[in-house]
């Protein structure tokens, strides 16, 4: 063999070794569940069996990793802010500021949303539903320039270089190689693990406590349709949209905050491109509503009293939900006592156990 041939032969040998070595690295390592990574026991009481994504089952180590990430300032561009900076447990994982302030001191234009019972939320995330999967949603605030303003590749290398994360990724997902996909999946697991169904009202439904007369009146108004022909049997029809176990209906609707000329945020239309979706927003859960002021997508109301005052006389617009039809144009005409009763009922939905649950607290 001449020397040139030897050179070529060894060159090809080297290339194939590198190729094989790289290929090996790229092969996906065994995912869930590993021996020490047990399924996470989700305690959801009377709620219907949730639809947990089959490609991301909740595991003890996965939820733990998600919780570490949720509370870690490393997730933001200048390491000053975590998800929990805007989603505080004491406020049912929301922010009591009208608009949350991001890492550069700039505020966004929407009110932070509460994070709990998201497993029973099956039609998108954010006020306008622009994220379909929770794992994708989780990566948006990280990159948002006015929220956490972090580059994902930079975050991946920071976590990879840290002393504790690679081992925790290994425990959770069977690989110590950090990736954007697994960050999203871990955050999804932790957020899905947050369940709220231990309020006074839940205890009342189980027959363990009683409601006051005022709370019972509020419950009646909340659950009963508006019917001007029979004032004694007429209610405020809140259940129409805020119904079911989670006090929401998984839809995007216009609840009469503005007339057409005052629409500022087009809400759902920004996602679907349909004028029929203009100024429609997610019907949020009313659980823990006492803890999550201010209210609505733009935080325009500071108190539940103001919210009830709003529903007493909603504003007409092209996309106003049809269910308000019977009460237009005069409004619900609730008495002072009935307005107070509705607020009293809403406060029975507060879950003090959830906000003090160590499983959801900063690790
Ligand atoms: C600077 C404040 C801020 C930070 C930090 C932040 N969020 Fe949010 N979050 C918001 C706001 C504001 C909204 C509503 C935005 C919208 O609808 O456009 C929101 C919405 C959400 C929702 C939607 C809930 C629902 O019911 O649809 C989830 C889930 C969520 N955030 C999780 C996270 C996670 C996970 C992190 C960390 C990776 C995070 N947030 C960081 C302010 C923040
Ligand atoms: C037609 C459906 C509909 C009806 C009926 C309805 N709501 Fe709502 N509700 C919504 C929508 C949609 C939002 C979110 C609107 C927004 O932010 O722009 C909302 C938001 C709220 C909020 C604020 C939630 C938050 O996280 O800031 C409260 C409180 C509330 N509703 C209470 C009530 C009460 C009390 C009643 C009965 C008097 C009622 N709703 C009737 C659709 C409805």
Q: Whose CA is nearest to atom 27 of ligand 1?
A: 125
Give 121-160 pLDDT, tens digit per residue: 989 999 999 999 999 999 999 999 999 999 999 999 999 9
Residue 21 has pLDDT above 60, yes or no: no
Residue to probe by mutation, ligand 1, list 63, 98, 126, most atoms within 8 Å of CB: 126
Q: Is the CB of 86 under 6 A from ligand 1?
A: yes
Give 76-118 pLDDT, tens digit per residue: 999 999 999 999 999 999 999 999 989 889 899 999 999 999 9
**158 phi, psi to nearest 5 deg:** -65, -45
Alpha carbon distance 140, 148 (integer Å): 9
pLDDT band of 36, cuts 50, 70, 90: confident
Tally of CB atoms within 10 A around 82: 18
- The sign of the torsion formed by the CA atoms of 122, 128, 134, 136 equals positive
pLDDT band of 46, cuts 50, 70, 90: confident
Residue 31 pLDDT:
52
β 252-253/281-282 pair status: antiparallel
Residue 8 pLDDT:
53
Domains of the chain, each with CATH number or no CATH: 29-195 (1.10.760.10), 200-354 (1.10.760.10)
Tally of CB atoms within 10 A around 33: 17
Residue 30 has pLDDT above 60, yes or no: no
Q: Whose CA is nearest to atom 37 of ligand 2?
A: 238
Instruction: Report the pLDDT averaged over residues 300-313.
Output: 98
First to last CA, the chain: 65
Residue 37 pLDDT:
85
Residue 289 pLDDT:
98
Q: Which ligand has the shortest distance to the CA of 298?
A: 2
Q: Which ligand has the shortest distance to the CA of 69?
A: 1
User: How many Å lie between the centroid of ligand 1 and the Cα of residue 92?
Assistant: 13
Return the percentage of the chain with pLDDT > 90, whole number: 86
Give 160-219 pLDDT, tens digit per residue: 999 999 999 999 999 999 999 999 999 999 999 999 999 999 999 999 999 999 999 999
Residue 201 pLDDT:
98
Q: How many residues does the chain have?
A: 363
Residue 286 has pLDDT above 60, yes or no: yes
Q: Is the CB of 297 under 6 A from ligand 2?
A: yes
Least confident range from 26-40, 197-211, 261-275, 301-315: namely 26-40
Q: Is the CB of 284 under 6 A from ligand 2?
A: yes
Residue 9 has pLDDT above 80, yes or no: no
Q: Whose CA is nearest to atom 28 of ligand 1?
A: 115
Alpha carbon distance 255, 235 (integer Å): 17
Helices (H) and strands (E) in the chain, counts: 13, 2
Binning the chain into helix, strand and coil, the percentages to the nearest 5 are: 45, 5, 50
User: How many Å lie between the centroid of ligand 1 and the Cα of residue 112?
Assistant: 6
Residue 302 pLDDT:
98
């Amino acid at each position: 063999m001449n020397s040139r041939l030897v050179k070529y032969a060894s060159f090809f040998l080297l290339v194939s070794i590198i190729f094989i070595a790289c290929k090996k690295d790229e092969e996906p390592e065994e995912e869930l569940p590993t021996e020490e990574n047990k399924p996470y026991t989700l305690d959801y009481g009377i709620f219907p069996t949730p639809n947990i994504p089959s490609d991301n089952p909740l595991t003890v180590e996965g939820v733990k990793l998600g919780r570490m990430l949720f509370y870690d300032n490393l997730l933001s561009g200048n390491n000053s802010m975590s998800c929990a900076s805007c989603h505080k447990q004491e406020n049912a994982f929301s922010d009591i500021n009208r608009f949350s302030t991001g890492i550069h001191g700039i505020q966004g234009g929407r009110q932070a949303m509460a994070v709990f019972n998201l497993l029973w939320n099956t039609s998108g995330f954010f006020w306008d539903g622009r994220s379909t999967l929770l794992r994708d949603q989780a990566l948006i605030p990280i990159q948002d320039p006015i929220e956490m303003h972090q580059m994902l590749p930079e975050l991946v290398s920071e976590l990879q270089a840290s002393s504790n994360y690679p081992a925790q990724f290994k425990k959770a997902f069977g690989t110590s190689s950090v990736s954007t996909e697994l960050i999203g999946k871990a955050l999804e697991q932790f957020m899905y693990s947050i369940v709220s169904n231990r309020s006074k009202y839940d205890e009342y439904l189980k027959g363990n406590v009683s409601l006051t007369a005022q709370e019972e009146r509020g419950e009646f108004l909340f659950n009963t349709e508006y019917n001007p022909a029979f004032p004694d049997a007429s209610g405020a029809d809140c259940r129409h949209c805020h119904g079911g176990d989670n006090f929401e209906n998984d839809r995007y609707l216009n609840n009469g905050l503005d007339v057409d000329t005052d629409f500022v945020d087009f809400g759902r239309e920004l996602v679907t491109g349909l004028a029929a979706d203009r100024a429609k927003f997610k019907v949020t859960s009313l659980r823990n509503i006492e803890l999550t002021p201010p209210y609505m997508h733009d935080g325009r109301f500071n108190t539940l009293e103001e919210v009830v005052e709003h529903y007493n006389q909603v504003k007409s617009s092209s996309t106003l939900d049809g269910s308000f039809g019977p009460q237009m144009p005069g409004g619900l005409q609730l008495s002072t006592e009935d307005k107070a009763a509705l607020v009293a009922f809403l406060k029975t939905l507060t879950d003090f156990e959830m906000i003090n649950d160590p499983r959801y607290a900063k690790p």
